[in-house]
Structure 1
Amino acid sequence: MNTSPVASDAALAASDVVAEMLDTDRQIAALQARQLSLLGRAGAIAAEQTARIPISAQREREMPLRSIAAELAAALRRSDRGMQNRIHEATTMLRQFPSTVQSLQDGRIDIAHLRVIGDVGTRIADPDARALFEQAALAVAERETAGRAKPIITMLAHRIDPVPSTERHATAAAGRRVWVRDLEDGMAEVVALLPAPLAHGIRDRLTQYARILVDQSNVGDGDGDADADEHDSGALPARTMDQRRADAFSDLLLTGHASAAESDGAICETDAIVARIQVTVPVAALTGADAPAALQSHGPIDARSARHYASTAAGWDRLFIDPATGNVQDADRYRPSRAQRLLLRGRDEHCRFPGCRAAVWVCDIDHTIDFAHGGPTQACNLAHLCKRHHTLKHHTAWSVRQRPDGVLMWTSPTGRVYSDVPQRALEFHAATQSGAPPPF
């Protein structure tokens, strides 16, 4: 370890930057909470004026809110329609999620966390259930990034909302559709609104096709010169992974078939690429209960869909959950497999560096204490890390230790400590702390 004065001074300077950034971020959050309060006051003024207008005069009753929104928009050089939406959203947050606004005021969360809680929680109609949800959601939001918190918070909402998840999913699935949005320069977007397992499966399958294209493009002509075409003025430029996915998407849709029978006649079964998704299903859901399952990197899906995917899966990973903590304790599979990999896949779900959401499929399984230094190949010393954070761990002053419960304690070069809690344990803690039903 380098303890020279230069290194110490650099660490001290970096620590000062982090401290000032934290303080600045808290001030920004407090100002954003103040903005919400002011927008709420604008909404209250408009509501008071509206209350004096007879209900029969519908057009006139719209004018107070439109007028004050137009005033604010003109002063701030914004769209008055957009300002009206902001007033409505602020009024909703202040009325339905006061603790979340207070957490923003105190700098414990940022505006992205608030939006996640608002977007998910406003679907809960029952006030008592919504209040219970808010406390559970804050327990997650105050320690995770907004991106990581969203699937956990969404799952909490599904568990707490008294409306059955199957009913909610059926209503949402009825709105599935595909549409095209024209863009500039001869481009257009094809957008599909689909059940989440299908959407994630589609992207995974496209990624697999794209990787095959990359592998094929890296094959040389047999004499070791894989880059011979680089100097050919007629050679096409290399495609990115996103471009390859888009090309595969077009090829599959434009040359595919509408039925499985037609596809079987055109594609050899052994050449087919199968999409991969990871769905965790409670035992109760498999036996017919309306308990939501979890789609990795997304959040809850309804029990009926989960039972369907379970019935068609080639194999199941069975997870054993500690009822006291929510941690994954063990894993096995009906077909022979490496139990440690199954356990870690179920426990981690994504890269275990704070804030990273890279799926386990693209991560390495890293020894927390290096194997070369005596670290055992056991679940308590293993965790998924993406390439970026695996490299960061081994080639910078970042360090990490793993607690017996699977929590990773990361120490930065400035000496700050950041904990990363397995998603299921965090969801369990948030639910039990708030008084919500345990997530099993």
Structure 2
Amino acid sequence: MTGTTPTAWQQRIDTLLHALADARRDAAAAQAREVALLAEAVEIAQAMAQDAGGPTSVADIPMRSLAAQIGAAARVSDRTVQKHMSDAVVLVEKLPATFAAWASGDVSRGHVRVLVETGAAIEDDAARAVFEDAALGVARRETPGRLKPAARLLAARLHPIPLQERHTAAATKREVWVRDLDDGMAELIAILPAAIAHGIRDRIDQYARRVVDARGAGPGGENTGDSSQGGAPDATSSTALLPHPDTNSHNTHPTDTRRISEVRADVFADLLLTGHATPETTNDAIPAGEAIIARVQVTVPVLTAVGADDAPAELVGKGPIDTATALRLAGTATGWDRVLTHPITGNVLAIDRYRPSDHLKRTLRVRDEHCRFPGCRTPTYRSDIDHTTAREHDGPTELTNLAHLCRRHHTLKHHSAWRVRQTPDGILHWTSPTGRTYPDHPARTLVFTTRGTEARPEPRPTPDPTDF
């Protein structure tokens, strides 16, 4: 198709996008239809068991038999089929609005999985319906990855048992164990409070990136394809912190080609075995014993902080955490921000602190939480602050003209036909090269979607909708 005009290419791409959207809708409808049939299979098996009577020890034989028949026809394990049958009943009976949205192609299997994981545990039917209505509003415009923390926070707010009580019970299940793997390897697995687990991961990542930065460009500097915690590929490989066959003491740069994921594992081992990531092969550019503090961003409702409410605190971008941990982190922080949000929409209206510094940057961090290109979750501390309307086009340096973009999407904005405009409420309206528009809402507003609904079941009192 040499010599094709740009308009012709755009028309072809637009046709392709329409076809892909139709295919995805058809696929979603087909997947939902399969779930409906599996739920119907459960009804048939239960009716067969009731008609057959007999001892309770064999009451599930009709279910097993039907699962085996379906599995044989589909070339799938009957155990897998029976689990899918149970999951289908949960979805169809407990989350009917989610099932309907899936059947109509409004949401994908990934969205449905998130909503089932977070909402099915809500026992009260009215509260679960409130959750569905609010969470589906987010699901229709966000990726499953962005939906998950918002849905978890919504579910926590609607749960009849306060999060603090549930966290106290869950914390008794803290554990560390080892699972042996092949080729002389093993997994070290730990169950920890979320704030601690993510803090550990961040501290390890900081050490690893310091090593990469200290080394600079080298043989291992190519993109390794390893994904960081924000979901974007790392631009570099890494230098080792543990002894390695390709390294010599204090001369690790030339031949070390390990990926950053390998360095993270080495740092993790060093910190646990020696108390610090400073073995003999550590590069001189990393001072021995230097403390790196983990970065954990926590949002605590002011009424919760003063004990007047039990609305859950949030580990930003991950979901709810218990109030006691959140307050302890806030109490030991070197500084913390007071965030004023709209009582209905959740839009960030203002932010301040006792000793203001870099006011605008802090406001943007709180508002955005991650890169503002649709679907991207790269955290703000690894993103650039971009002028929506460029400075050379008289774009002002103010909140309504700034947003975080990761390097990948910052480059895309400036070197492709993608265009973006920002409205006063912080929504970025992205326009693709073929003219399609994709709104990206500030992360803070995703969980403020229960307007005009009752929020909590008994025995807890129902709050005013504006609490959300």
TM-score by length of 1: 0.90
Match of 2:47 in 1: 48
Match of 1:68 in 2: 66
8 Å contact kept, 1:411–1:418? yes
- What is the one-letter code of the residue matched to 2:92? L
8 Å contact kept, 2:95–2:120? no
- What is the one-letter code of the residue matched to 2:415? H
1:171 Cα shift? 2.3
Residue from 330, 351, 359 that aligns with 1:331: 351
- CA separation in 1, counterparts of 2:421 and 2:438? 11
- CA separation in 2, counterparts of 1:179 and 1:17? 49
8 Å contact kept, 1:29–1:106? yes
Residue from 287, 290, 293 that aligns with 1:274: 293
Match of 2:316 in 1: 296
Q: Does 1:247 align with 2:266?
A: yes
- CA separation in 2, counterparts of 1:49 and 1:304? 51
Q: Which residues in structure 2 correspond to 1:24-423 (within 5 Å)?
A: 24-52=23-51, 54=53, 57-218=55-216, 236-256=255-275, 271-288=290-307, 289-423=309-443
1:19 Cα shift? 0.4
- CA separation in 1, counterparts of 2:25 and 2:416? 28
- What is the one-letter code of the residue matched to 1:287? V
Structure 1 34/390 Cα, relative in aligned 2: closer, same or farther at 3 Å? same
- CA separation in 2, counterparts of 1:217 and 1:306? 36
- CA separation in 2, counterparts of 1:65 and 1:179? 36
8 Å contact kept, 1:129–1:162? no
8 Å contact kept, 1:427–1:439? no
Question: Secondary structure of the residue that 1:31 maps to in structure 2?
Answer: helix
1:237 Cα shift? 3.4
Q: Deviations over 1:213-241 (max 9, x none)?
A: 11232289xxxxxxxx9xxx986332222
- CA separation in 2, counterparts of 1:433 and 1:240? 50
Higher deviation after alignment, 89-98 or 312-321: 312-321
Please provide the CA RMSD for this pair: 2.1
1:185 Cα shift? 2.1
- What is the one-letter code of the residue matched to 1:281? V
- What is the one-letter code of the residue matched to 1:355? G
- CA separation in 2, counterparts of 1:329 and 1:411? 26
1:307 Cα shift? 1.3
- What is the one-letter code of the residue matched to 2:383? C
- CA separation in 2, counterparts of 1:101 and 1:434? 21
Question: Secondary structure of the residue that 2:5 maps to in structure 1?
Answer: helix
1:301 Cα shift? 1.1
Unaligned runs of 5+ in 1: 221-228, 258-267
- CA separation in 2, counterparts of 1:69 and 1:180? 34
8 Å contact kept, 1:136–1:433? no
1:415 Cα shift? 0.4
TM-score by length of 2: 0.85
Q: Deviations over 1:64-97 (max 9, x none)?
A: 1111111111111111111111000001111101
1:58 Cα shift? 2.8
8 Å contact kept, 1:350–1:358? yes
Q: Which residues in structure 2 correspond to 1:421-432 (within 5 Å)?
A: 421-428=441-448, 430-432=449-451
Match of 2:459 in 1: none
- CA separation in 1, counterparts of 2:216 and 2:4? 47
1:313 Cα shift? 1.3
- CA separation in 1, counterparts of 2:217 and 2:5? 47
Structure 1 198/338 Cα, relative in aligned 2: closer, same or farther at 3 Å? same
Unaligned runs of 5+ in 2: 219-238, 240-245, 248-253, 277-286, 456-464
- CA separation in 2, counterparts of 1:335 and 1:74? 68
Question: Secondary structure of the residue that 1:351 maps to in structure 2?
Answer: coil
- CA separation in 1, counterparts of 2:466 and 2:38? 37
Q: Deviations over 1:383-432 (max 9, x none)?
A: 0001110010000000100001000000000100000011222321x211
- CA separation in 1, counterparts of 2:211 and 2:270? 13
- CA separation in 2, counterparts of 1:193 and 1:294? 19
- CA separation in 2, counterparts of 1:109 and 1:385? 26
- CA separation in 2, counterparts of 1:304 and 1:395? 47
1:334 Cα shift? 2.6
8 Å contact kept, 1:53–1:60? no
- CA separation in 1, counterparts of 2:398 and 2:265? 40
Match of 2:12 in 1: 13
- CA separation in 2, counterparts of 1:313 and 1:291? 21
- CA separation in 2, counterparts of 1:343 and 1:269? 35
Task: Give me the identity figure in percent.
Answer: 49
Question: Secondary structure of the residue that 1:272 maps to in structure 2?
Answer: coil
